Amino acid sequence: MADFFWFSDEQWARIEPLLPTDTRGMPRVDDRRVLSGIVHALKSGGRWGDCPEHVYGPKKTLYNRFRRWAERGVWERIFADLAGMDGVPSRLFIDSSCIKVHRTAGGAKGGPWLMVSASPKAAGTPSSMRSAMKRAVPTSCS
Cα 129 → chain centroid: 45
Task: Round to whole Å and give the CA distance between 40 and 106.
Answer: 36
Cα 59 → chain centroid: 19
Taking each helix axis from N to C terminus, what angle separates 59-72 and 31-43, rounded to the nearest 10 degrees?
90
Summarised one tens digit per residue, pLDDT across range 47-89 is: 888 888 888 889 999 999 999 999 999 888 888 888 776 566 5
Summarised one tens digit per residue, pLDDT across range 3-34 is: 788 888 988 998 999 898 887 878 888 899 99
Of the candidates 84, 71, 92, 1, which has an alpha carbon nearest to the alpha carbon of residue 39? 1
State the pTM of this model: 0.56
User: Which of 58-73 are b and which e, b meaning 16 or more Cβ less than 10 Å from the residue's Cβ?
Assistant: ebebbbebbeebeeee
List CB contacts of 81: < 8 A, sequence separation 6 or more.
18
What pLDDT, on a 0 to 100 scale, did the predictor assign at position 67? 94
